[in-house]
Amino acid sequence: MSAEAKQDVAAETTERRINMIEAINEALDIMLERDPDVIVMGEDVGYFGGVFRCTAGLQEKHGRTRVFDTPISECGIIGVAVGMGAYGLRPVPEIQFADYIYPGLDQLISEAARLRYRSAAEFIAPMTVRSPFGGGIFGGQTHSQSPESLFTHVSGLKTVIPSTPYDAKGLLIAAIEDNDPVIFFEPKRIYNGPFSGFYDRPVEPWKKHPQSVVPEGYYRIPLGKARLVAEGEELTILAYGTMVHVAEAVAKEKGVDADILDLRTLVPLDIEAVEKSVEKTGKCLIVHEATRTSGFGAELSALVTERCFYHLEAPVTRVTGFDTPYPHSLEWAYFPGPVRIGEAIDKILKD
Amino acid sequence: MADPADKPPRGGDNRPALALHVPEPKSRPGDPVDFSDLDIGEAGSQPRPDEGAHPSEMTGLAYDLIRVLGDDDRAHGPWDPKLDPETLRTMLRHMAMTRAFDERMFRGQRQGKTSFYMKCTGEEATSIATSMALASDDMVFPSYRQQGILIARGYPLIEMINQIYSNKGDKLKGRQLPIMYSSREHSFFSISGNLATQTPQAVGWAMASAIKGDSRIAATWVGEGSTAEGDFHSACTFATVYNAPVILNVINNQWAISSFSGFAGAERTTFAARALGYGLAGLRVDGNDPLACYASQLWAANRARANKGPTLIEYFTYRAEGHSTSDDPSGYRSAQEREDWPLGDPVKRLRDHLIAIGEWDEDRQAAMDKECAEQVKEVTKEAEKNGILGHGLHQPFRTMFEDVFEELPWHLKEQAEQATRERIKKFGEKGPNR
């Protein structure tokens, strides 16, 4: 059964609606239960249950050697996870904010990502590094960054970004079961409910949102498969994380007949879904929150241009954050919101 | 506004001018060498605490130097591991073999058979004697100068040479720099070129072993220069926080390429004393004394196995050769250092000990050295049949795309197809190494 079909079944049968934090918690709970080799660790994840509560109750249920706090040392957290993976465990380390991942970069880039290759598969690092990322919560320049493109540049790492509770649960389960190291970025702006990008309007909670239906129990969404959020003929919008919701809201408000593709995983990328959509619409808009220069949008733009050039009827266009650090007081001016996206849509449709 | 750095303080300002200290070794090329300030103590005079002792009860051992073999070539004191002669001869043989291996591989590099090699001359005890004190299935996370562990663990020499030559027999498919071995079967973790990264990994492996209620412990080796890396400090923190069953070995061989140990902080304290700030057990050991190396590692292994905690051990030794085949130590240090090193040569010290206790003689030593050299020569010839670096007998090029991920994703498939096209264009359909 396809993920979409499963979702429909769930919508009809259980109607259980939870937020992304709860969905992540459930995925971890299920995997801790199913696989004695799964270990959850990170700053504050144990007794307290994580600063965003993603791991709440897990230590109490699964014990202190399965779910535990760590020293404030991203290098240590990721480094010990590599050793645990080599032993045969499946560690799921949490980096409290993606902005803090940099001290652990060498362990991720040079070690976890390359261990399988350099040892000719004698040793592997089957770990899933979870980390909340992105802005829109007044987190300032050190709690708002979207560093995903750094990781997509590294051979041997998989990069996963969910945009709904349903996907968060199914993708996280798939990531934990994957034998390669995975970076699992959680868009913290939509931890509690979808965000339309209209920051001055009330936020719709997940319980009122159709995507919030999450089945109980185990299911997985394969890595490398995009989700078609909306079907349209005029334009393809490629997005992931929070920006899926913003793009969806803007397209709806403007009445644009757009194919909206939630990429879900950046590496491996669902290139077939991208090609199919762009070949149909002939126009492609890429939306991400990360800074523009060398962002993942640049890669997407190059791929679309290389592979769909003769189908294109307008320049492939990017809407992104600006190339500045995330400014605390001006975060909504930084954020690639409805105005910026709307302007790009107008321009691309005029071409 | 502050004064420019190159001007004296402003008039009327009586604050003293600050001065930066940049460490400088005591001798440079051509200089006489003076090691008289080294306090190497009397063999056998260092106390041996109980293996379960609290780190605070043994702080002195982080500054002292544990020694067993005295100037009389006899074993002394409480750290004498009382090894039987057969074990001592095995240890000596591993050392002789490692030396013979280094000698031949160094020559191989000079003959253009490979790109790079690193000898461990003078440091053999720190890997051979120490690994002999571990169980064969304890996991080791070595740095790049612990080839002695593989030799002590019986890893086939031909596999080592295949790896060094990156030839078609290389189990690592020609991906790693020479000497960066890996053997899961021999519980020898894949070596990284990025320094000290293996230290938190060893701690993580040990934590995993403890989580699973296993009985195997982990040990890691790092050079004294690399203790300046953040990874090492993360490893110490995690090791102590979780009481991980791990041994953190620091090989203080005095030189990190051309930077002397002062640049890692040796002028201020010992590397073993790093343990104290973390609440780790810390031992400082004569790294050229094979019996002291064995005894200290066994002490730490027993401690870890009994859940009494991790240990940081500094092996005080000397890198008798250059850092690697790409290095010329005559450019930065006095040649006399090697000659005058007060702790001698580990192979000679063990040999002399065996002779002193009537279990060995010069003739047997000469015969063994010859036998080792011949064996390495034979195996080298055998390995060369699999090719040498750059001579066309290397790994099939298609292996380049394997093992990046467990399964080949579309983008790598496309790139592999491109590589195939390029290959056919260059060499034709029946080209080499398909």
Please tell me whether residue A20 adopts helix, strand or coil conformation. helix
For the entire predicted model, the pTM comes to 0.95
Preceding omega of B23 cis (within 30 degrees of 0): no
Is the minimum CB–CB distance between A180 and chain B shorter than 8 Å? yes
B8 within a domain of the structure (yes/no): no
ipTM: 0.95
- Tell me how far apart the 2 most distant CA atoms of chain B are, in Å: 85
Question: Alpha-carbon distance B344 to A291, whole Å?
Answer: 59
Which helix (H) or strand (E) is B220 found in, with range? strand B218-223
- B339 contact partners, CB below 8 Å, separation of at least 6: B33
* Interchain proximity A268–B409, CB inside 8 Å: yes
B115 within some domain: yes
* Domain of B267, in residue numbers: 55-384
pLDDT digit string (tens) for B347-400?
A: 999 999 999 999 999 999 999 999 999 999 999 999 999 999 987 777 888 899
Distance from CA of B182 to the nearest CA of A (A): 6
CA distance B47 to B310: 19
Q: Which of B212, B403, B408 to mutate to test the interface with A (most CBs of A within 10 A)?
A: B403
Q: Does B408 lie in the same domain as B289?
A: no
Cα–Cα distance list, A211 to A2, A74, B381 (Å):
15, 33, 66
Same domain, B74 and B204: yes
Best residue of B222, B234, B395 to probe chain A, by most A CBs closer than 10 Å: B234
Look up tokens 């030396």; give the residue.
B99
Q: Which amino acid is at A243?
A: M
Identify whether A245 is a catalytic site residue: no
The answer to whether B251 touches B199, Cβ cutoff 8 Å, is no
Whether the CB-CB separation of A316 and A301 falls below 8 Å is answered with yes
In this structure, the answer to whether residues B423 and B279 fall within a common structural domain is: no
- Among candidates B187, B55, B134, B76, which has minimal Cα distance to B298? B134
Structure letter (DSSP) for residue B330: G
What is the per-residue pLDDT for A348?
Answer: 97
Whether B88 is covered by a domain: the verdict is: yes
H or E segment to which residue A349 belongs:
helix A338-350
Do B197 and A107 count as a contact with CB atoms less than 8 A apart?
Answer: yes
Q: Is residue B35, in this structure, part of any structural domain at all?
A: no
**Residue with the two structure tokens 């001290």:** A103
CB contact residues (below 8 A), chain A span 266-305, against chain B? 267-269, 271
* Catalytic one of A143, A153, A209, A311: A143
Same domain, B268 and B417: no
User: How many independent structural domains does chain B possess?
Assistant: 2
Asked if residue B7 belongs to a domain, the reply is: no
Question: Does B403 sit within 8 Å of A84, measured CB to CB?
Answer: no
- CA dist A263 and A229 (Å) reads 10
Q: Which pLDDT band, with edges at 50, 70 and 90, does B4 fall under?
A: low
Do both B123 and B234 map to the same domain? Answer: yes
Backbone angles phi, psi at B33, to 5 degrees: -115, 140
* For testing contact with chain A, the best of B150, B173, B190 (most A CBs within 10 A): B190
User: Domains of chain A, with CATH numbers?
Assistant: 7-190 (3.40.50.970), 224-350 (3.40.50.920)
State chain A's mean pLDDT as an integer: 95
Q: What integer pLDDT is reported at residue B74 of this predicted model?
A: 98
Question: Cβ neighbours of residue A344 under 8 Å, at least 6 residues apart?
Answer: A285, A317, A319
A345 has a pLDDT exceeding 80 = yes
B61 contacts B285 by C-beta, under 8 angstroms: no
Residue recorded with tokens 């300046």: B228
Is residue A82 within 8 Å of residue A107, measured between CB atoms? yes
Q: Is the pLDDT of residue B51 over 50?
A: yes
H and E: helices and strands count for chain B: 12, 7
On the question of pLDDT at A13 being above 80, the answer is no
Strand segments (E) across A81-125 = 90-94
Asked if B236 and B248 touch (Cβ cutoff 8 Å), the reply is yes
> Å from B34 to nearest chain A CA?
40
B144 and B191 share one domain: yes
Q: What is the pLDDT of residue A1?
A: 43
Q: Say if residue B176 is in the same domain as residue B259.
A: yes
DSSP string of B77-120, one letter each residue: STT-----HHHHHHHHHHHHHHHHHHHHHHHHHHTTSSS-----
Same domain as B410, residue B301: no
Q: Which pair of tokens denotes residue A170?
A: 């199914």
pLDDT tens column, A310-329: 999 999 999 999 999 999 99
Q: How confident is the model at residue B407 (pLDDT cuts 50, 70, 90)?
A: very high
Do residue B403 and residue B268 come from a single domain? no
